[in-house]
Structures are given as structure tokens and as C-alpha cells.
Structure 1
Amino acid sequence: MSVHTHPETETGTGIDPETDRELAPEVDTEVDDEVLHDSVSLFEGDEGGLEYAQRRALVTLLKQRFISARTHPRDWTVLVEHERLLRSRLNDLFLDLQVDRAREVAWKRQATSETGSRFPTMLYDAAWSREETLVLVHLRDRLRAGLASGDLRVFVDREDVVGYVASFRPAHATDVAGDDKRARNAVASVVKSGLLIPTATDERFEISEAVEPLIPLELLQDLLAALVAANSNEVPAADDPDDLFDDVPDAAGSTTGTTAGTTAGEQ
């Protein structure tokens, strides 16, 4: 069972999945903006109309699942100042910009026409595994609980997450070692996506503030219900769990998925 994160929603630049697969969540570049502030012409024959900082923010939006004030402070500042301009450039690519100013997180999603038809897209399908989905559900729950208790930053231990995933192991499952390995690989995958932020120790992570807006409450409830039903011997009264996981709308506005996706190549 898997959960689509982006039915043509994000995993990189949208140009070459093989190239972008190597990309990890980026940090701000080292280029000195001051050198490039005087002109929007940045190279010979340049017909672009954006300044360097605006272009950099646009590229980051295309390459990453999300940007935030925490992970990309310079790009976030540019986005806040030029949101309408950057939204326009994304719209030209049939992408819609989503901005959560309260949590200081922004992400993109595939635009849908008013008639429901699909636009040409540079995005491709990708899916969270069952274990990755459980990790995301747990992180969202832990994040909300921590923030509700007054924590400004919420942390989680690797073993806590792995234990949560294990709690959903069906009673008939016998491959304990294999299940444990898949759970640990799921944690590593979510770290690579940027939704878990490494700390000084390999066994502890900070939960990104992007988890909550990218996994809305309605989707969380549906995912948990599907997971429980999948592990139950009872026949679900409504949709089959596998169908639910394939069809639940995601926060990125796609028809399948748990999180904002990535353009082809985004991690």
C-alpha cells in the first residue's frame, strides 16, 4: 500500500528526474546578491524580467517540496515581498503557489482548470510508502501536541517514530526485521524531504513546521482510518483502503497524495 504524494506534484526541477534525484533539501546559495542588484540582465542575451534574488526564489520553489523561513530564510523573505510576481511565474507553468504566512511555509501544487481538465505539467507522480505515510501522520500529531503545550520547536527521537510505525504492524506479520528496516528507511526518506530536520545527534530530529499545512486534518483522519482498516480482519464498510490511499486529495491540490509533491527531480 502506498500513498501518492503528488500525482504530478513535486520532486525537483521538472527537467530530469535522474539528475534531480541526487538533490537534497537545499540551503541558500553562496552567491553575493549585491553584485547582481543593479540589473535584471544577468548573462549575455538575457531576456528575463526578474532580479537575481527573485529568480533564485523561483528556482527554489520549483526544486523543493516547500520552502520556509527556517530552511530558506532569504528565499522566504523574497517570496513575501514579491509573492504576486512569483505566483504569476508559477501560474505560467500551470502551478499554483500556496503560502501559509502563520507558519511561514510555502509550496506549489498542480493547477486544475475550472472544467476539471488537466493542464500540461512538468511534475510527475511519486508516492509515499505505507511506512512513510505513518511517519508523516505521527510527526503531524507530535508537532501539534508540542505547539499546543507551548513548545516553540518540537523534537522527536528516531526510535519513537520507528516504534509508532511498528504499532501498525498487522498481527499476522512475521517479518519483524524487514518491517523494522522499512520503518527506518521511511524515517531517512522523510529526513531527505526536509520534513525532519537533523540535529547534533543522529537519533534526534526537529519536526519541520511544514508538516502541518502539508498534511491537513481531513487527510490525516482518512489516512489513519485507512491504515486501521487495512490491519483489521473486518471488511471496510466504505471504500477499500487501497482505493482511499490512491484517491484522497492532498494539500498540494492533487487528487492523490499526502504532501505537496515535487517537480520532476525534487526530493
Structure 2
Amino acid sequence: MSVDSPIEVEIETGVETSIESGIEPDGLDDLVEDDSVSLFEGDEGGLEYAQRRALVTLLKQRFISARTHPRDWTVLVEHERLIRSRLNDLFLELQVDRSREVAWKRQATSETASRFPTMLYDAAWSREETLVLVHLRDRLRAGLASGDARVFVDREDLVGYVASFRPSHATDVAGDEKRARNAVASIVKAGLLIGTVTDDRYEICEAVEPLIPLELLQELLEALQTATSSDGAAEDDEPADLFDDDADPDAIPDAPAEEQ
């Protein structure tokens, strides 16, 4: 995740698949034998049903974890090399954090730094989403360090954190608050906040930390400090001006997650 003044560095947010997310039809698992590799007429695939299901889930979602997708996580851990191979065939790399029980994919890069064909698209987090992610990582680490098995956060706390980066001269208060609330909803949909969009309190998903590495967080904080200094806000001890009306709305600090 990252920044400048105005924020120009684009953050690499986890890449997201262009495949439409969906739920497996109820009862399908009961109709298919897990150890069968022939699932339909003319099927020449080499994966069993459970392995294919885990692979498809990994392609659809930003990440899978033992908490959010326990069945697919178990299959992935048992057949990691096989699933990694299938992802590699698609120019994707598999990332696995076994200590936090989280796995995600990212676009592979050639040794010559050229881009491979891809089925993923880069979707940078908005400034508001970036701030929410930084705050979540902070809260998660603090909670875990205090011995909490699960860490929770209030929606208003997140909205207030984003608002703290709002300069005193900004006039669109309602618009800024709406963007902050939309950012929270977006993070909920990404699965990094556990709950529903209409909830007032959420559990922070353990995937936040591995998807937002410390080095990226440090880059973002340094960029925020640079933005604050160059904007002159430091003199008034005001947060970096991330909401400047002249700033590119799609440009953000260079640091978010994932890569999904």
C-alpha cells in the first residue's frame, strides 16, 4: 500500500479475478465422489472433485483461510503442490501462510520482468479503503499481542479513522463520510471484515496481516508522512491531505494487500 502529495503512487491491492463469484449448488457435494477424476462426459481433467472445488474457490476469492473456507483450506494443505501446479499453468503463484492458515494467489512475473497473459485484473484500493486496511492491520496486531483470540472493530471507529485524515479545508463532509462507509462495505465484501454490510461491529479477518505485509505498511506510513510534510499540514499537526479535491481519485498510497 502507498502515497505521495497528492497521492500518486498506485497501490497494488490484491488482484481480483474477473470470474463471477458464486455459491456451489446445495447438495452437489453429496452427488460427486471426492476420489473421482471423471466428473462429466469427455472429462480429461486430472483433479478430484474436492481438489477442483478448492482450486475454483481460490480463483474466485481474494483468499481462502481455515476460518472462511475450512473445507477448501484442508484440501489445499493436503494437495498444495498439485494446486500450485495448476495455478502455475495459469501464470499464477500460490502464497500460503500456514501459521495464520491463509492462502492467496498472485500474478507471476517473468524473469525478464515482462507480463504474462493474465485472467486477473489489478484493482487498486481507494484512498478510503487503504486507510481502513491500515487501521485493521494495526488493530489486529494490537489485539493479538494482548492475547485476544479474536479481534473486533466498530464500523464508526473505522469511519472516524478515515475522517481523521480529512483536512480542515475540505468542504464535502457528507461525501467524504459516504466514501468512508462505502470503503468499509467494500472491505466486508472482500472478506477481510467478518460480518454483514449492515452490521455495526465486525471481526477482523486474520488474513489482513499476511495480505498487507509490514514492509508495504511502512511504505504507506512513510508516504503519508511525506504527504503531510509537503502539504504543510505538519505545521498544524493535521493528517495528510488524502482528500484534496485536486488529487486523482483513483491514485492511492502504494501498499495494499495481496495481492489477492
TM-score normalised according to structure 2 size: 0.83
User: Is the Cα contact below 8 Å between 1:168 and 1:231 reproduced in 2?
Assistant: no
Cα drift, residue 30 of structure 1: 4.6
What is the aligned length? 239
Match of 2:139 in 1: 142
Match of 1:4 in 2: 11
Q: Pick from 77, 80, 83 the counterpart of residue 77 of structure 2.
A: 80
Change in CA separation of 1:129 and 1:200 when aligned onto 2, cut-off 3 Å? closer
Q: Pick from 156, 179, 184 the counterpart of residue 187 of structure 1.
A: 184
Identity of aligned residues (%): 75
Match of 2:202 in 1: 205
Q: Which amino acid aligns with 1:102?
A: S
User: Is the Cα contact below 8 Å between 2:216 and 2:256 reproduced in 1?
Assistant: yes
Task: Note the alpha carbon deviations across 1:177-213, whole angstroms, 9 max, x for none.
Answer: 1111111110000000000001798100000000000
Match of 2:108 in 1: 111
Query: 1:46 is paired with a residue of what secondary structure?
Result: coil
User: Is the Cα contact below 8 Å between 1:112 and 1:119 reproduced in 2?
Assistant: yes
Match of 1:220 in 2: 217
Cα drift, residue 27 of structure 1: 8.5
TM-score normalised according to structure 1 size: 0.81
Cα drift, residue 69 of structure 1: 0.2
Match of 2:166 in 1: 169
More moved, 97-106 vs 34-43: 34-43
Task: Note the alpha carbon deviations across 1:225-256, whole angstroms, 9 max, x for none.
Answer: 223433442499xxxx989x7684xxxxxxxx
Aligned-CA RMSD value: 2.8
Note the 1:8-157 alignment, pairs <5 A: 10-12=15-17, 14-15=18-19, 20=20, 23=21, 30-32=27-29, 35-157=32-154
Q: Which amino acid aligns with 2:11?
A: H
CA distance in 2, matches of 1:247, 1:92: 32
Cα drift, residue 28 of structure 1: 10
Cα drift, residue 39 of structure 1: 2.0
User: Is the Cα contact below 8 Å between 2:127 and 2:252 reproduced in 1?
Assistant: no
CA distance in 2, matches of 1:219, 1:197: 23
Q: Does 1:260 align with 2:258?
A: yes
Instruction: Look at both structures and tell me which one has the larger radius of gyration over its CA atoms.
Output: 2
Change in CA separation of 1:30 and 1:188 when aligned onto 2, cut-off 3 Å? farther
CA distance in 2, matches of 1:29, 1:119: 36
Cα drift, residue 261 of structure 1: 4.3
Task: Note the alpha carbon deviations across 1:99-146, whole angstroms, 9 max, x for none.
Answer: 000000000011111222211111112111000000000000000000
Change in CA separation of 1:247 and 1:202 when aligned onto 2, cut-off 3 Å? closer
Match of 1:252 in 2: none
Change in CA separation of 1:58 and 1:38 when aligned onto 2, cut-off 3 Å? closer
Change in CA separation of 1:43 and 1:135 when aligned onto 2, cut-off 3 Å? same
Q: Which amino acid aligns with 2:161?
A: Y
